[in-house]
Every structure is written in structure tokens, then in C-alpha cells.
Chain A
Amino acid sequence: MSRYYYYLILINMVANIIASVPAILLHSHKDGAVSAMILAIFVGTFLVTVYTRFFNAFPGRTLPELLQKTTAPWFYRPFVFFLAVMWFIAGVITLITFVFLLIRYLTPEMSINLISLTLILSVIFGCLMKTERVFYTVEIILLITIPLILFIFFKAYNNDHLEWDYVKDAALYVNKWPNIDAFSACFFLFLGVANLTIFNRFFTEKQKFGWKQIFIIAVIAMATLFTTYFIPIGFNGLENIGELVYPWISTSDSLRMEYFIIERVLFVFLLFYLGIAFLSILIHWHASMEFLKFVFNLEKIKYKGKKFGKFIPVPFFIGISLILVQLLNEYRLFLYTHYFYNALIVIFPSMCFLFLFIKRRMKYAEQANQK
């Protein structure tokens, strides 16, 4: 597989730490989070395999292009619009979460609009770039941030205050029946692969996707889930861990770098996770914008000979996100996010049936072409 494919998956997995995933997981720490995680690894890896195999069969094609060929317009347009909205929401969740984080921990005096504008303005023009350029950006920023994030994880695992007894204690709850909320939160980690719906455009050559690749993804997923769930427990204990709003921020704030110029790991964590959040929003919104291009044929809109169609969604994106930042608070964001995650476990597996349909239609289309 091309390394860019792994970036898509990796970012969704790593970015979840600052989103509501750990909070949702830890919320059900005594009723079935562990078993849900184990279940999610199997189901998630299976879903990744199905999605990758499907898009691998059509190198360089995006999902909207395939739908355009195989389905009727009454289905195609509303469905792609629905996808655009979903991808927009996925980006907005990361955005709002991070805005709340920044105002809580880094710059409490700044107005919330200004903070959200910082993030929105920096991302929004990136979303208009070509898909390949998005990938190059992702690669370089990951190259900067990942070593530091790994260092923080290393610090966490190496810390004296990490009590493995709590971790073992938490692991004992494995015998509980999987919790649906926890499962959907874990499941979200694997949905990075769904970005292939647009980003498949970049993979113009057929990729190798066998057991080795599946194994790598499963291992990465396991490591991320383990870190996401058990490290906060190891630091904060098992009782009342479900009450923490930002479990990972509290955890990183209990780390110190005694001899470095920045003593509290929290700030390093925040500023470098800002990069991951940035990429996550960039990828989601880029996909969303591309979907919108397909729905409304934005490329064709001209004014005085200049193509400005692709800029049309920009004010909507900015406006809606600003309004949402105003409307929501942490509790509501948490609530809606987990509704969203719960909806996803229905939507994405059922898209597999759509894939089956497309595959059959394309096969017939190819046969017809050959005749």
C-alpha cells in the first residue's frame, strides 16, 4: 500500500484522542468498554478491508464518480450531499472540540470567535487545494508532529506515576457485554478509510492489500486504542474516571519534563495536537468540499469568465461553524458527538451494500463496453 493510504487511517486514529472518543469510552468504563474495544478492532479491521478492497478495484476513481455512472440522479445527488454534510460534521466536531480546549487551557482571555476563526481560516483555504497537495501537506506536518507525540506517549508509559494496577483492574471488566456507545466511539477510529471516497483519486495505481497490510492496521489500531483508554486510567485511577471532560488533557498535564524549557507537557501536547487536529479537519473538509463540487457542479459556475464556483462553500463553512461554536457547550457537544458516532455505525457498514451494487453495475458496464 502507498504510505499516503496509511496517513488517512493514522490521522483518524490519532486525532480521536483529543475528540470525545476517550471521554465516551471512559464513561462506560465499568460496563463494557473493554469488550467493546476488542469487538471494534475486529469489526473495524474488517470494514477497513472491505472499503480498501472496493476502492482498490477502481484505481483513481472517487465514489461520486462511480455513483454518477451507476445510479440514478434522484439517488446520486441527495446521497452525495448527505455525504458532504457528514464529512462537514466530522470536521466541525474536531474543530469545536479543539476550540474549547484552547480556550480552557491556552488562551482563556481570548474571545471564542477569534479562536475559532484562527482554526477555520487556516484550514479553509487548504480545503480548496488539489487532493495530491493535501496529501503532501499531511505528510510534512505529520513528519513534524508525530515524533513529538510519540515522545509524549513514551514519557507517559515511562512515568513512575502510571499505576499498572489500575490498568489491570480496568482490564478485568472485559467480561461485561459490549456497550453500544463505547463500540461506536471505537468504531469511529477506523473510519479514516472512508476518506478514500474522495482521496482514492490519488491512488491511480492498483495497490497491494493483503494480510500484511491488514495486520499492520490492526496492530496500529490496537496500540492506539490501548493508549487512549488505559493510560488515563493508569494516571487517574478507575473510580470516577468517567467524570473527566478531557481525560487526555488531564493525563498529559500530569506529565513533566523536568529539564526542558517547557516544563508542562500539556502545552507541547496541545500545540502539536493542534497539528493533528488541523490535518483531521483539513482532510474531512476537503472531502466535504469535493462532494459539494459533485452535487452542485461548482466547477462550472463562472462569473465574468472567472471560475469562482469552488469558493462558494467557503462562507457557508465559516458561518455554520461559527454559529455552532456559539450554540454548543461541552456537554452538548459531547452528547451530539456520540449521537453522531452512533449513527455512523449504521451508515458505514450499510454502505458496503452500496459498494456491492456499484461493483455489479460496473462489471456489467465493462462487459457491455467490451461487446
Chain B
Amino acid sequence: MFSLEAVKWINDQFKQTNELTEKTLEYEQKYMQLFYLKPLIDREMLQNSVIKPFFEMASENQFKLYLHALPQFQEATTKEQVMREIMNGSVVAVIQNEWYLLDFKLSTNDKVNNTSVETTIHGSQLALSDNLATNINVIRSYYHQPSLCVEYVVKGEVNQHKVAIIYDKEKVKNGVLDTIRERLQNVDKQVVSSTTQLNNFLNNKRLSLFPQMIMTERPDRIVYNIAGGKVILVVDGNPQAVATPAVFFDYMSTMEDNYHTLIISIFLKFLRYAGLMISILLPGLYVGVTSFSPEVFRTELALTIAGSRVGVPFSSFIEVLFMLFFMELLLEASIRLPKAISATATTVGGLILGTAVTEASLASNIMVIIVSAVAISTFVIPVNEMAFSIRVVRLLFIFVTTIFGLAGLTLGLYVLIMYLVNLDSFGEPYLQLYTSPKNRSKWERKT
């Protein structure tokens, strides 16, 4: 099937670009044609493992056998596949109408990064790289089980990125896997460039606040999740993987919880949940207590708060929204700014603005304390995606308290819990206590 026509077809496909190199080699009755995209391939490798042997070998047959034996060799079946492989950095060698696909891809992004999002003190400091092959190499070398499966899907109609679905065949729940495959099939986006994008494409909801896949860059976390029966998705060109199905408690744990001694990790977990509660409830509590029921706090404290608010011209919720708004701006700005400037921005924003606001009595001193406490406790949430969701939830809580008072705040918390319980992550309940032996037996039956 691979005749001159096919060569012509491929040439036609690449007519628009001038980068397809076609090379004809002829020496001592040996004849070979090479096609490749110059920027994509490793030229030195091509030189050493194809061109040099071509001139050294005695016969064409010997050379053909040699090509077959190369580890980079890949069977060519259709001309579409050949075209795709050329774009992926393969070299096509044509000898007597026989086609040889050789993967000589030159990757400049296969260096493993340092952890930058999920930093820990204990444990490995290395993260994934931008290169899919390297990532799978990393994962495979940390997880030695023959049941580890990797499936590839190509997503994104224009940019044709490879997406790898990684799971342990013996541990994964089949229902989850089928749902993921089915939903991946339905993704018809033009460009898919990031794993976290899949979060939106796969959850079948237009409006969603809480992430249903957990983003991670740490190989140890990936391995831990695979061993726990989760499915990992990795997109080429992306140093982050997503694991699913994820439950709420996953977002509140770091890998370090397993590395510390028990009491220390309980303490750290307590800190984290306290931080979560503070960052959700504190601004709402301030509004509720100052504007609705100041008698809730003990008299001294109520007086201190009221005293600190003397001269503030706003009602408490405008004060809270005003300060929180600037805090959110500051957070957003410090992410987007170049590293050199962001330090200045935080100093100007945090220190100078904070002091000036209280001196101008646009906000009370206690408000500034609350805003900074809230900001710090948001950072305690270990998974970045959840921290973002919590920031939005906090605003909702302020609105609810403004309308319904302290009772509204309390009920808001219960409703939040109820909402989380009602959420699904690929068929698994998002929030649930897992301690019961009943559930465990259910789990065992399913797996």
C-alpha cells in the first residue's frame, strides 16, 4: 500500500510548510529515502544510527534488518499514522516501497522540575516534567506493578495533544474508568493544553465551584493515588497530573501527613481544618457580631470591637468587603506579577495600605487583623484549587450573613456541608466519613 502515491500524498500534506526534509541516499546499489521535520528530530542520533550504518553496511537487506532491530523502530500501518508520527518527531525511511518509522524525537522539556506548588520539607523535592514520556517514566519507575496500565488518547482537534490515562488495573473501580473514558470521548475542544482544563471538560456541569479532580505535581502523590485505586490523567506538555475520583478530604491532606509521626500529623491536620474554618467563617462572624448580635461575645470583647470601630463610616459588611476586595486584588496581583516586583507589591499592599486604612479610619484595626488572619489561613489549605474555591465560598458567607445574621452564617455552614455531601466526583460521594466497617465492606465488594 505504500507506493509512490503515498509519498506524494505526504508531500502534499506538508506543502504549506517548508520544513519537511526529503533526503535521498544512494550508495553501492543501496537506495533510501528519508522524510522528517528538521526541528523536531535529534540530528545527531539520526546521523549515528541511520546514516552512518547505511554507508557501512554491505547489502540493503542487512540494513533493513538493522532498522528493524533499532529500539526506535515502529510499525507503519496507514499513511495517516505516518503523517502523525512525522509531526511527533519521527523519521520515515522508505526502502523499496517499505516504510520504516523511527522515533528520533528531540525533547528539550524532559528535565524533571523542582516542586513549586506543593512544596514539602520531607520527601522528594522533584516534581513531574513537561514531557509526557518522561512523566510516565517517572511514574513507572516509582510504581513497580505489572498491573499498571497506561492508555493514550489524543485530544484537542487542532493541537492534537496526547492524554495518558494511568491506573492500576487491579485496584481501579471499573465504573470510574468507564465514566472517564466515555467523558473523554465526548470532549470536542479545539485546543487542550492543560490537565486542569480536563477538570472542567469532564465533570459534565457548566457551573461548578469545587474541583472534582485533584491536581498534583508530586510523583509520590501520584503513586499514592494510583495505589488507592484512583485514575491519573496526564497531558503532554504539562507538569501537572490530575487524579480522580477525588473527595473533599484529599484536598485537605499533603503527602507529608504520611511522613510525620502520628501526633504531629494530627496536629498539622487540626491546624489545617482550623485554618479552613477561620478562612470561611471569620469575616462572616465579624459582620454578624458587629451588626446583628453584639451581645454574643463577652462584654469586654464586644466593647473592644465597638471601640475599634469608632470613626469607621461604613457598616460592617461594607468594611469587610472593602478590605477583602483589596486582599483578593493583592493575592491576584502577586501571582501575575514578575517575581522581582511581586515582593514590592505585597509590601506596598499589605503593610502600607493596612496601616494607612486604619489611620484614615476607613476600617477598624480589628478588621485589618481579621483580613490578614483570613489570608494566612487560606494559604494553609494544601491544595491550591481548593483554596481558590474557599475564597469564593467566603464571599458567599459574607453575603448570607449580611442578609440573615448569625443564624444565617451557622446555617450557611451546614448548607455548605450538605452541598459538599451532595456533590459527586465520578460517582463517588464528595464528602463522607469513611470510617464505617459497612462502607469498608462495600468498598471491598466493589473492588
Contacts and interface: CB of A to CB of B under 8 A. Distances in A.
Chain A interface residue bracket vs B: 35 or more
Interface of B: 292-293, 295-299, 301, 403-408, 410-412, 414-415, 417-418, 421-422, 429, 431-433, 436, 438
Contact of B293 (A106, A132, A261, A263): A106
The interface residues of chain A, by DSSP majority, are classed as helix
B433 A110 contact: no
B404 A140 contact: no
A34 to B, nearest CB: 35
B296 A102 contact: no
A371 interface: no
Contact of B411 (A132, A136, A140, A274): A274
13 contacts: A107-B405, A107-B406, A118-B408, A129-B418, A129-B422, A136-B421, A136-B431, A137-B417, A137-B422, A140-B431, A141-B417, A267-B293, A274-B411
Contact of A136 (B297, B408, B433): B433
Given A3-B436, A129-B418, A264-B296, 14 more contacts: A107-B406, A110-B292, A115-B407, A119-B407, A119-B411, A126-B415, A126-B422, A133-B421, A140-B431, A261-B298, A263-B297, A271-B406, A274-B407, A278-B414
B411 A261 contact: no
Contacts of A271: 406-407, 410
B415 A133 contact: no
Nearest 10 pairs of A and B residues by beta carbon: A263-B298, A122-B411, A118-B404, A267-B296, A136-B432, A136-B421, A107-B405, A137-B421, A122-B415, A137-B418
A135 to B, nearest CB: 9
B431 A275 contact: no
A210 to B, nearest CB: 18
Nearest to A145: B414
A299 interface: no
A141 B420 CA distance: 12
Contacts of B412: 122
Interface in A255-302: 260-264, 267, 271, 274-275, 278, 282
Contact of B429 (A2, A136, A261, A263): A136
Given A133-B429, A137-B417, A141-B417, A118 B407 contact: yes
Contacts of A110: 292, 404-405
A132 B421 CA distance: 10
Contact of B414 (A117, A122, A262, A264): A122
A143 to B, nearest CB: 7
A216 interface: no
A114 interface: yes
> Which residue among B415, B418, B436 has the maximum number of chain A CB atoms within 10 Å of its CB?
B418
Contact of A140 (B292, B405, B433, B436): B433
